[in-house]
Amino acid sequence: MTEEFALFLDDSGSPKPNLKDPLPYFAIGGILVKRQDELIIQSAVKKFKENWNISPEYPLHGNEIRSKKKGFAWLGKLDQQEYNRFMDDLTELIITSPIIVHACVVSRSGYHQRYLEMYDENTWEMMKSAFSIIIERCAKYVDRKNGKIMVYYEKMGKKEDRLIEQYFEEMRTSGHPFNSDNAEKYLPLSSIELSSLLRGIEGKSKSRNELQLADLCLYPIVKSKENPNNKALIAMKKNNLIIDCLLKQEEIETLGIKYYCFDHNF
């Protein structure tokens, strides 16, 4: 019997390989969920918001929470004990959710150096590279579970949404976009396999609870290279929520979280 999965994707940073960008990384990632578990996540997020008097319509936006600004400016008015309780509850929301966290994190400087050397100024946007990698890796994992996968991403704008959906359809019709010789060691799926495994793709607003959880889970992965001991990352690892925790060591290179162009980092 086929297992149905949903992949909820968020991104972090600009997908342009501009070295003047203050953020050293770009990432795309999120959570892989069994379709029957979506209601569990939706209910858990709803309960968390009720407990903290957060409007059901207002998203749990990680950047606002970390900076204590905009809709979460009130966090800055809490005493330390109450603030810690909020963060503990937020961590509990994540680690008790039936999710698998996956991502592709790209070194901006490494990407720029690798593709500037190869293609001069005609570099790909990092979004295409990162998106293709995570979709293909999640598809391979789902294939092991005799599953199919539907992809949901946070809407960004008409132009950006068209590009994301174009990348997706190109994978279904032509396979991954990378050099075949270089990609062979990662055991890529064929276009026929991807077409069979990938149900479709759809843009959603941040009001979708699963996308809010994807946002919260992606940031610790993005920061993992410079801050491997951050509390959220440790909690996710301890509870085996990160894809790498579910794989054998030798499988991580082809199925696990991808740190892309870090070999060219400077």
- DSSP labels for 176-225? --S-HHHHGGG-PPPHHHHHHHEEEEEEE-TTSHHHHHHHHHHHHHHTTT
pLDDT at residue number 119: 67
Q: Following CA atoms 105, 109, 114, 120 in sequence, which dihedral angle do they give, to the nearest 10 degrees?
A: 130
Residues contacting residue 189 through CB under 8 Å, at least 6 positions apart = 136, 139, 140, 143, 175, 176, 197
d(CA 104, CA 137): 10
pLDDT at residue number 18: 80
**Single-letter amino acid, residue 11:** D
Burial, 73: exposed, middle or buried (Cβ in 10 Å; 0-12, 13-18, 19+)? exposed
Number of domains in the chain: 1
pLDDT at residue number 185: 87
**Residue 82 within a domain:** no
Question: Residue 58 corresponds to which tokens in the numbers above?
Answer: 């207002």
Nearest-CA neighbor of 258 among 245, 243, 246?
243
Domain region containing 243 = 3-58+92-264
**Residue 239 within a domain:** yes
**Residue 67 within a domain:** no
Residues contacting residue 131 through CB under 8 Å, at least 6 positions apart = 9, 28, 104, 164, 167, 168
**Residue 77 within a domain:** no
**Residue 245 within a domain:** yes
Tokens 């925790």 — which residue? 245
Q: Report the CATH number that the domain containing residue 232 is assigned in CATH.
A: 3.30.420
d(CA 211, CA 10): 7
The answer to whether 32 and 241 are in contact (CB under 8 A) is no
**Residue 84 within a domain:** no
pLDDT < 70 positions in the chain: 119-124, 264-266
**Residue 87 within a domain:** no
Listing from the earlier edge strand, what are the strands of the sheet with 198-204? 198-204, 147-154, 3-12, 25-34, 100-107, 258-260
**Single-letter amino acid, residue 39:** L
**Residue 85 within a domain:** no
